[in-house]
Amino acid sequence: MEAVTAPKPWTLYAPGHSSLFPILMFILSQCCRIRADDGGMEELATEKEAEESHRQDSVNLLTFILLLTLTILTIWLFKHRRVRFLHETGLAMIYGLLVGVILRYGIPSTSYHNTTPPSCTLKEGPVSTVLLNVSGKFFEYTLKGEINLREIHSVEQNDMLRKVTFDPEVFFNILLPPIIFHAGYSLKKRHFFRNLGSIITYAFLGTAISCFVIGNLMYGVVKLMQVFGQLTDKFYYTDCLFFGAIISATDPVTVLAIFNELHADGDLYALLFGESVMNDAVSIVLSSSIVAYQPAGANTHTFDAAAFFKSVGVFLGIFSGSFAMGAVTGVVTALVTKFTKLHCFPLLETALFFLMSWSTFLLAEACGFTGVVAVLFCGITQAHYTYNNLSEESTKRTKQLFEVLHFLAENFIFSYMGLALFTFQNHVFSPIFIVGAFIAIFIGRALNIYPLSFLINLGRRHKVRGNFQHMMMFAGLRGAMAFALAIRDTATYARQMMFTTTLLIVFFTVWVFGGGTTPMLSWLHIRVGVDPDQDLQPCGDSFQVLQGDGTQSEGQSKTKQESAWLFRLWYTFDHNYLKPILTHSGPPLTTTLPACCGPLARCLTSPQAYENHEPLRDSDSDLILNEGDLTLTYGDTAITANGASSSSGPEGSAGSWGVNGKRSDSTSEDALERELDTREHELLSRGTRLVFPIEDHA
């Protein structure tokens, strides 16, 4: 910061910009009035301005609260009337649009009191802060932002519109964490892990395909705009790839809400939900990697192999680091809730759970990782471990708390989207770019879903049918994540055009595709009214029973155990070691650890594990046991996933399963858990083998 120290009555501080003096002379001329006034008059004016600013801020926040209130009441009316053509998010956007129109065109403009603003030429960008020394009193002026040339005479209105334009960091640090955490914390693990292989394929490989397809197609659109003279500033290839990354983040919240209400097919729900959750994380890390792409040399926008591989390394490093940070935070929370008596104080327990979960996002961002990935896996870890340590009251509180925060944050974002269409002051509407973006998104989604589904079906017995693929293609809506990524940086011409286009794409997909979900389900003959627990039936030959000697039960088809070895290894390790260490459930560590680790095992094992092997509230067997694809054999007795026990002979097996591989009864999963708990030590002592035919669903 440069300071003029000469004893002059007027002193300017403009960090690094002496060429700012001409344009700041106007500010000085206005400050001369202060010199002639009383100090009391000056303080009074300042207090009045502060009071007016506070009142305006209160009005702005009240506007959003009223929007949410109106949205909630309308949602109730729609649910009461069973209206499904418009989801709550689309409704929030409509109300936001109406308020935006009123703010933009319903409030009269105030003319700028200087019709000819002074001009100057800067070699660099404008400074963010200017200090004025007016007769020994210092005044600070901050940069509010660029004003559109055609609106230069309505500065007062622009100031009002700026007040209803939130800092993008508000979306990332306040509104996104509860949305993402709730997705991980409320994850339906049975269907999710049943389709884990397919979900990872769609989320990682599919998002990368979509990003590069859209990016390359949009680069062709940009070249076309140059030919027709529709491009007024720079738009690089890396900008096109960045747009492909942010617009690849799907958010089928409307479709999933209708699926949940109609009880649509559980596997289809899991595929869509899992893909949307995971690809949000992939999109944000991918966009960060593209921003980190910096080729060496004068031209920083050409292809450079070293910079490319560096970006790949950045992607892997950020994703793995964020994943580790989220998992570690969840583990720490589990240990704290296990080895303290916080369960005696449910309010403190809930507060700690909330703060630890939210801090994961901020910690990851502060360390240079991605908070979205960290808080997602923190939510999954908290649901798998910490949830079992919470008191009964805290389990209800945490679920309800994050459900409410998720609902309010999501609807707030969609309301703000409608508002931003009219209040954002730097929109760049390009018809060619917008039409090209819609076509590119359609092609990118098609090249994502259909080829990958073909490859997935090669190794999957329970195929992703054609109607499922069409529904996944249709349900590729864009929403909160794409909007948050686009609004985070709108400093350049290219980013402003991306933001405007993203906003229009979100509007179209939420209203058109979201509203057409119910007719599409009927047209594609996708079953609805499905009980998610009863839906988890074995698919033909997707299960087998092993006798105590390791032979396969008669009448059952062979399952390839090799492809499930990694999951079986993880499940055994988690059940025998991690669950007993991090929760009050599972077998005592004294029975699973070597004898030399006896003192440590007794220290880490919860007393509940010795008393009654308390069943897991979140169902420890959610990953596998509830899928109907598992039979556990204890010597001469077999326990099937329907909770019944029988002899290990063919008769006993037939008594548990029908001839077509379907359950003969619908006993609850709790019966199986109780049976497993009572026979757990016997299982470990006899060396019983568990068969997990995961390849049928992955």
516-570 tens-digit pLDDT: 888 888 898 888 877 655 555 444 333 333 333 434 443 333 333 334 456 677 7
For tokens 């994850």, name the residue: 187
* Main-chain dihedrals φ then ψ at residue 640, nearest 5 degrees: -95, 170
| CB-based contact 402:375 (threshold 8 Å) | no
In sequence order, the 6+-apart residues with CB closer than 8 A to the CB of 397 are 346, 350
**Segment among 28-37, 163-172, 173-182, 428-437 with least mean pLDDT:** 28-37
Structure token digits, residue 362: 């901020």
- Residue-level pLDDT at 241: 92
**Tens of pLDDT, residues 347-392:** 999 999 999 999 999 999 999 898 989 999 999 999 989 998 999 9
Of residues 519 and 443, which shows the higher confidence score? Answer: 443
| CB-based contact 182:402 (threshold 8 Å) | yes
284, 288, 289, 369: which is closest to 329 by C-alpha?
369
Structure token digits, residue 499: 């933001």
* Main-chain dihedrals φ then ψ at residue 28, nearest 5 degrees: -65, -40
**Segment among 208-217, 463-472, 644-653 with least mean pLDDT:** 644-653
Task: Provide the residue count of the chain.
Answer: 698
Structure token digits, residue 666: 């619908």
**Segment among 114-128, 280-294, 355-369 with least mean pLDDT:** 114-128
CA 454 from centre of chain: 27
93, 4, 99, 202: which is closest to 505 by C-alpha?
93
Distance CA 326, CA 375 (A): 6
Split at pLDDT 50, 70, 90, the class of 2 is very low
| CB-based contact 442:509 (threshold 8 Å) | no
| CB-based contact 282:203 (threshold 8 Å) | yes
CA 281 from centre of chain: 6
**Tens of pLDDT, residues 605-650:** 777 766 655 444 444 444 443 333 444 333 344 444 444 444 333 3
Mean of per-residue pLDDT scores for the chain? 74
Taking phi over 0 as left and psi of -120 to 50 as alpha, with beta for the rest, 69 belongs to: alpha
For tokens 């896996």, name the residue: 377
Q: Is the pLDDT of residue 271 over 60?
A: yes
Of residues 195 and 215, which shows the higher confidence score? Answer: 215
* Main-chain dihedrals φ then ψ at residue 191, nearest 5 degrees: -70, -35
Residues facing 11 on adjacent strands: 133
Structure token digits, residue 294: 């910096």
Distance CA 303, CA 294 (A): 9
Taking phi over 0 as left and psi of -120 to 50 as alpha, with beta for the rest, 613 belongs to: left
Query: 2 by DSSP, 3-state: which?
Result: coil
Of the ranges 100-104, 396-400, 457-461, 694-698, the best mean pLDDT one: 396-400
Mean pLDDT value of segment 215-237: 91
Distance CA 543, CA 638 (A): 13
Q: Could you write out the three-class secondary structure of 205-262?
A: HHHHHHHHHHHHHHHHHHHHHHHCCCCCCCCCHHHHHHHHHHHCCECCHHHHHHHHHH
Pairing label, strands 129-134, 645-647: unpaired
For tokens 């000085």, name the residue: 28
What is the DSSP-derived secondary structure letter of residue 525?
T
Distance CA 526, CA 556 (A): 30
| Angle (deg, nearest 10), helices 305-339 and 266-291 | 120
- Residue-level pLDDT at 668: 43
Mean pLDDT value of segment 64-71: 89
What is the DSSP-derived secondary structure letter of residue 578?
I
Structure token digits, residue 108: 């009269």
Split at pLDDT 50, 70, 90, the class of 117 is low
- Residue-level pLDDT at 693: 40
For tokens 């583990």, name the residue: 331
Distance CA 525, CA 493 (A): 45
Ranges of beta strands (E only) in 228-377 are none
Q: Is the pLDDT of residue 574 over 50?
A: yes
pTM above 0.85, yes or no: no
Split at pLDDT 50, 70, 90, the class of 229 is confident
* Main-chain dihedrals φ then ψ at residue 83, nearest 5 degrees: -90, 125
Query: 485 by DSSP, 3-state: which?
Result: helix
Q: Is the pLDDT of residue 8 over 60?
A: no
| CB-based contact 456:236 (threshold 8 Å) | no
Mean pLDDT value of segment 467-475: 90
H/E stretch holding 138 reads strand 137-142
Q: Is the pLDDT of residue 311 over 50?
A: yes
Q: Is the pLDDT of residue 573 over 80?
A: yes
- Residue-level pLDDT at 445: 94
How many percent of the chain have pLDDT more than 90?
Answer: 24
H/E stretch holding 617 reads none
Structure token digits, residue 182: 């709730």
Distance CA 691, CA 694 (A): 9
DSSP string computed for 370-426: -HHHHHHHHHHHIIIIIHHHS-HHHHHHHHHHHHHHHHHHHHHHHHHHHHHHHH-S-
